């Protein structure tokens, strides 16, 4: 294998794939990046056996071939290379990196041992715009669970039905839901739980200038194709909870308030809300067109008042501040409707000008 290419091309390739390198697997080959030179492109590939990313960049290929290089070291070397033409040459399972009159030799692995990223057999595919899907990820992924003892909650439910796409995430304490209209002339249906790590990578890699995203799926895998990126991921096995049963259809109190004012007030109150267990809990009092947050702790006290419009009963309720802040930061609207039904029922936030998004959060029982 012998290739001439720019530093920028090398850097864009390794940056696209290196975050998918296995951090847990002890197999040396999975700590590597597969570099394949073919038809005037370099293909970079990485997999941790649950997710794999492939990326192609242009190059002048003198001799085709393949090589697996240690991912972390190769990435660090590429970042420190000068801005000039780089020559990559494979010799006896090592790769030589030449620039100016200098060279670096890195020991590598046999490419025959690298697990191939599967191309799905007879997949079903649909397309949607990058901007739409990126925003749906941003507004839901934070609600996924981090602990892996219940895997279905560590992923996001993606559903395609007729001309609708739904993305739902929950960690059992809160739930984020987004729905949008898409073109689906073939009326394809899909329902699968995609790992949060996969969606985080897709969000990082998606560029607004890439116009469309192609999603393909088969029994237990899903593929995302956009620009020069091919990302394949396993789907999480298990039954996602029936989220429709959880969302209240009525409420006792409806509050119309400013997203920015509410977010800033909750953030200030959270500075004084940490209790001895480390939880950040604030009590909210909705009464006569005013929302009050009165917080007292060993650090001091704060009293916040926000003017609101309300319908229904006065209510006092407590929430984890992180769960409120996470949602308020991703809501793009200026105003929300906050629906409440007493101190022990979930609260539901809905952007005033966007009926396609909602966020449900369970209250905290306080003494």
Closest CA to 3 of 41, 30, 52, 33: 41
Q: Are 322 and 362 in contact (CB under 8 A)?
A: no
CA-to-CA dists, residue 82 to 8, 184, 314, angstroms: 10, 47, 65
In angstroms, the CA 24 to CA 35 distance is 22
The CATH number of 247-361, from 3.30.470.10, 3.20.20.70, 3.40.50.620, 3.10.150.10, is: 3.10.150.10
Q: How many whole angstroms separate alpha carbon 183 and alpha carbon 162?
A: 9
In the prediction, which pLDDT does 138 show?
97
Taking the CB of residue 62, how many other CB atoms lie within 10 A of it? 14
Strands 347-351, 253-258: parallel, antiparallel or unpaired by DSSP? unpaired
Q: Quote the pLDDT of residue 85.
A: 95
Report the alpha-carbon distance of residue 291 to residue 41 in Å, rounded: 60
What pLDDT shows up at residue 191?
Answer: 92
2-113: CATH homologous superfamily? DNA Polymerase III, subunit A, domain 2 (3.10.150.10)
Percent of the chain with pLDDT over 70: 97
- Please say if the pLDDT value at position 361 is more than 90: yes
Q: Which pLDDT tens digit goes with each residue over 163-196? A: 899 999 999 999 999 999 988 878 888 899 999 9
Give the pLDDT of residue 276.
61
For residue range 43-68, what is the model confidence (pLDDT) as tens digits? Answer: 999 998 889 999 999 999 999 999 99
Cα angle 116, 117, 121 (rounded to 5 degrees) comes to 110
pLDDT in tens, 195-234: 999 999 999 999 876 678 999 988 789 999 998 999 999 9
Domain 124-241, CATH class in plain words: alpha beta
pLDDT of 278 > 70? The answer is no
Asked if the model's pLDDT at residue 123 lies above 80, the reply is no
Q: Which of 17, 84, 1 is nearest to 231 (CA)?
A: 17
Q: At what angle do helices 259-270 and 321-328 cross, to 10 degrees?
A: 150
- Which is more confidently placed, 365 or 169? 169
124-241 with 247-361: one CATH topology? Answer: yes
As a whole number, the mean pLDDT across the chain is 92
What is the tens place of the pLDDT at every residue in 22-39? 777 778 899 999 999 999
Instruction: Give pTM, 2 decimals.
Output: 0.90
Q: Identify which has the larger pLDDT, 188 or 353.
A: 353
**Residue 231, both tokens:** 């990302």
Given the structure tokens 């970042």, which residue do they identify? 79
- The pLDDT tens digits of the residues spanning 241-251 come to 999 999 999 99
Percentage of the chain beyond pLDDT 90 is 76
Whether the predicted pLDDT of 72 surpasses 80:
yes
d(CA 233, CA 224): 9
Residue 277 clears pLDDT 80, i.e. is over it: no
* DSSP 8-state assignment for residue 128: E
Nearest to 55 by CA among 107, 19, 99: 19
Domain boundaries, the chain: 2-113, 124-241, 247-361
Average pLDDT of span 6-32: 88
Range list of H helices, 292-362: 321-328
Closest CA to 13 of 86, 63, 64: 86
Does residue 122 carry a pLDDT above 80?
no
């Amino acid at each position: 294998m012998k290739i001439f290419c720019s530093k920028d091309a090398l850097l864009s390739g390794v940056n696209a794939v290196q975050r998918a390198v296995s951090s847990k697997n002890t197999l040396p080959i999975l700590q590597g990046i597969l570099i394949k030179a073919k038809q005037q492109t370099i293909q970079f590939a990485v997999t941790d056996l649950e997710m794999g990313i492939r990326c192609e960049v242009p190059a002048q290929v003198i001799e085709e071939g393949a090589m697996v290089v240690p991912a972390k070291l190769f990435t660090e070397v590429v970042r420190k290379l000068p801005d000039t033409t780089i020559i990559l040459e494979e010799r006896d399972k090592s790769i030589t990196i030449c620039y100016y009159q200098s060279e670096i030799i890195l020991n590598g692995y046999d490419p025959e041992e690298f697990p191939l990223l599967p191309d799905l057999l007879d997949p079903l595919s649909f397309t949607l715009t990058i901007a739409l899907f990126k925003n749906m990820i941003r507004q839901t992924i934070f609600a996924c669970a981090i602990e892996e003892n219940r895997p279905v909650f560590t992923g996001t439910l993606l559903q395609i039905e007729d001309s609708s796409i739904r993305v739902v995430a929950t960690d059992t304490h809160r739930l984020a839901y987004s729905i949008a209209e898409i073109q689906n002339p073939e009326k394809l249906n899909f329902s699968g739980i995609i790992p949060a790590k996969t969606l985080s990578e897709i969000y990082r890699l998606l560029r607004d200038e890439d116009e469309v995203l192609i999603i393909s799926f088969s029994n237990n895998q899903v593929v995302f194709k956009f620009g020069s990126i091919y990302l394949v991921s396993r789907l999480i096995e298990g039954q996602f909870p029936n989220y429709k049963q959880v969302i209240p259809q009525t409420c006792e109190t409806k509050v119309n308030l400013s997203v920015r004012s509410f977010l800033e007030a909750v953030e200030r109150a959270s500075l004084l809300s940490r209790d001895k267990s480390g939880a950040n809990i604030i009590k909210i009092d909705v009464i006569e067109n005013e929302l009050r947050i009165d917080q007292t702790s060993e650090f001091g006290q704060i009293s916040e008042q926000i003017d609101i419009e309300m319908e229904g009963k006065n209510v006092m309720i407590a929430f984890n501040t992180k769960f409120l802040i996470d949602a308020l930061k991703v809501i793009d609207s200026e105003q929300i409707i906050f629906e409440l039904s007493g101190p022990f029922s979930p609260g539901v936030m809905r952007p005033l000008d966007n009926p396609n998004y909602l966020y449900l959060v369970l209250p905290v029982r306080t003494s």
